[in-house]
Amino acid sequence: MKTNTHFAFFDEGSKKEIRRAILKAVAIPGYQVPFASREMPIARGWGTGGLQITLSIIGKQDVLKVIDQGADESVNAVSIKKLVQATTGVKLTERTQESSIIQSRHRIPEVALTEGQILVLQVPMPEPLRPYEAKEYQTKILHSEEDYSGAWLMLFEQIMKYGQTATGADHPVYVNNRYVMAPSPIPRFDNPKMHQSEALILLGAGREKKIYAVPPYTDVASLAFDDYPFAVESFEGKHCHLCGATNVFMDELIDHSTGETIYQCNDTSYCMERLNANVEAEVEENHV
Amino acid sequence: MAIDQVHDMQQVYRKLLQSMSRPGTISSIREIAERVEYKLPCYRATFLSVMTLLDAEVTFHILSEKNQELIEKISEYTLAKYAAITEADFVIVLQDDTEASIIEAMERCKNGNLLDPQHSATWIIESPLIAKEAELTLTGPGIKQEAQLQVGLTPEIWQTRNERASEYPLGIDFIFIDEQAQLACVPRTTSVVILEVE
Ligand SMILES: [Zn+2]
């Protein structure tokens, strides 16, 4: 049996092609650069696009964090971490502040990202115009002509139907005032974090063979109308039942003993860190 | 110690990515460049960048006609093919190239098309000295407010570049490299204002 002995899984030729695509993506913010997506030892749709980016940029000095829908310990995040670590030996972390590369599905961490970090987002469907135009060649023409009337119409229809912008995750954004881009299925709550981000954001779609990017300090505006402004999910008056946090993205849970609705930080490492800090503070107090 | 094709190339790439995503930010690959053992008709850091980015899937062009030796070395080490300026994916400018030859090449190189703006040339340009000086003022994506950069290109060359980048997303992306193995980038999105010399 032939075993894979390459550093970071890929041969150098595969990395070079992906690396070149990333540089073009950075030079044309929001534009989907095609690349020759490789077969990966994890199922497609489970982050192969993000994983291919991570493996192509990662080096021995990097510290990697992987999260899936806010959780570091989900099966998917763990299998990605295992693959990367087995082929690179890099240090893993759950602390956002300690990481140099963060690969994520469906979330941007609560802790603000900084200049030394790269966020890699996994993308199932990179084409924001696909819901109304099935043909790839046609969507390419629409992007080339900056014809986004269909995207606006889609938004308008939602407002007519629901009385508000009822998009869930993956609410389209305008990048650098030129390309309409799918931010990946992050909640609307995370969209503003892309605007003028300190960290470089790279997005990868394995099945659709596309890589795109939001460089740091780049304008990212969520699509909205003047009279129906963009709004993030509201957690006003709610707090995390574990750590007490407010103004973070929370999951809704049912307290089985009381039957009441309770809320909990979706970003588990953020919540854990706050809990530990609270415990430490209590210990300090008891020692005084 | 020689160059490590895996880990050194990864580090060079990350510096390139760092500088391309933050135009005007100067990165150094000196520690790696000092280990380059080949005798080369270009800066060691130029060769490292070429090794990092080129392979059999892309083409390159060198302006200086007398550089048969470098063309052969690059082809041999990267398997990339030499191509005319109108076709090349990478254009390599050495420090002794003239303003006239650079401008002519810049007017003729690929700058992408609206459907595929990525089908454009990436220029790897040797600079006498890259510094954070007010020769150029840069603004645009990747830059918080503004950045200053000195690379030693003439105002006429920048004017040609600005014309080729005027129909965004069409344009060309620059990687500058100096003898001290510093590098800086100016992608097509960067708006470049040249300091007026009285
Ligand atoms: Zn919490």
**Which CATH number belongs to the domain containing residue B159 in this structure?**
3.40.50.11310
How many structural domains are present in chain B?
A: 1
Name which of B93, B60, B17, B79 is nearest A23 in CA terms. Answer: B17
Centre of ligand 1 from the C-alpha of residue A195, in Å? 25
pLDDT per residue of chain B (198 residues) written in tens, 0 to 9: 688 999 999 999 999 999 999 999 999 999 999 999 888 889 999 999 999 999 999 999 999 877 899 999 999 999 999 999 999 999 999 998 999 999 999 999 999 999 999 999 999 999 999 999 999 999 999 999 999 999 999 999 999 999 999 999 999 999 999 999 999 999 999 999 998 765
- pLDDT number for residue B14: 98
Name which of A168, A211, A218, A176 is nearest A193 in CA terms. Answer: A218
Centre of ligand 1 from the C-alpha of residue A270, in Å? 7
**C-alpha distance from residue A215 to each of A47, A241, B143 (Å):** 21, 36, 9
Tell me whether residue B2 is in a domain: no
Residues of B in contact with A176 (CB under 8 A): 141, 189
What tens digit of pLDDT does each residue of A89-123 get?
999 999 999 999 999 999 999 999 999 999 999 99
Name which of B49, B161, B151 is nearest B102 in CA terms. Answer: B161
> What's the pTM value of the predicted model, to 2 decimals?
0.96
Name which of A70, A79, A73 is nearest A111 in CA terms. Answer: A70
pLDDT > 70 in chain A, percent:
95
**b/e map B117-131, b = 16+ CB within 10 Å:** bbebbbbbbbbeebb
Residues of A in contact with B118 (CB under 8 A): 21, 24, 28, 31, 33-34
- pLDDT number for residue B119: 98
Q: Return d(Cα B151, Cα B158) in angstroms, integer.
A: 11
Interface of B with A (CB under 8 A): 5-7, 9-11, 13-14, 16-17, 20-22, 52-55, 57-58, 114-115, 117-118, 122, 141-144, 168-169, 171, 173, 187-189
DSSP string, B3-32: --TTHHHHHHHHHHHHHHHSTT--EE-HHH
Centre of ligand 1 from the C-alpha of residue A241, in Å? 7
Which superfamily does A12-127+175-221 belong to? Bacterial phosphonate metabolism protein PhnH (3.40.50.11310)
Q: Which residue of B has its CA nearest to A58?
A: B10
**C-alpha distance from residue A230 to each of A125, A156, A187, A219, A275 (Å):** 22, 12, 12, 15, 32
Residues of A in contact with B166 (CB under 8 A): none
Q: Return d(Cα B151, Cα B19) in angstroms, integer.
A: 14
Centre of ligand 1 from the C-alpha of residue A274, in Å? 7
Domain boundaries, chain A: 12-127+175-221, 250-287
- pLDDT number for residue B37: 85
Q: Return d(Cα B91, Cα A260) in angstroms, integer.
A: 65
Confidence of residue A167 (pLDDT cuts 50, 70, 90): low
Tell me whether residue B1 is in a domain: no
Token pair of A130 as six digits = 């696909």
Q: Return d(Cα B133, Cα B150) in angstroms, integer.
A: 5
Chain A interface, mutation test: which of B4, B7, B9, B10, most A Cβ atoms within 10 Å?
B10
Q: Which residues of A are catalytic?
A: 30, 240, 243, 265, 271
What tens digit of pLDDT does each residue of A30-80 get?
999 999 988 887 765 678 999 999 999 999 999 999 999 999 999 999 999
Yes or no: say if A107 and A186 are a contact pair by the CB < 8 Å rule: yes
Specify the range with the lowest mean pLDDT, choosing from A153-167, A188-202, B27-41.
A153-167
**DSSP H/E element including B60:** strand B59-62
- pLDDT number for residue A1: 42
Confidence of residue A165 (pLDDT cuts 50, 70, 90): low
The one-letter amino acid at A86: A
Tell me whether residue B152 is in a domain: yes
Bridge partners of A220? A175
Q: How far is CA B73 from the centre of its chain?
A: 18
Tell me whether residue B143 is in a domain: yes
DSSP string, chain A: ------TTSS-HHHHHHHHHHHHHHHHSTT--EE--PPP-SS-TTSSHHHHHHHHHH--TT-EEEEEETTBTTSHHHHHHHHHHHHHH--EE-S-GGG-SEEEEES---SSPP-TT-EEEEE-S---TTTTT---HHHHHHHHHTT--HHHHHHHHHHHHHHSS----S---EEETTTEEE---S--GGGHHHHTT-SSEEEEEETTTTEEEEE-SS--EEE---SSS---PPP-TT--BTTT---SS-EEEEE-TTT--EEEEES-HHHHHHHHHHHHHHHHHHHH-
Residues of B in contact with A60 (CB under 8 A): 7
Range of the domain at B15: 7-194
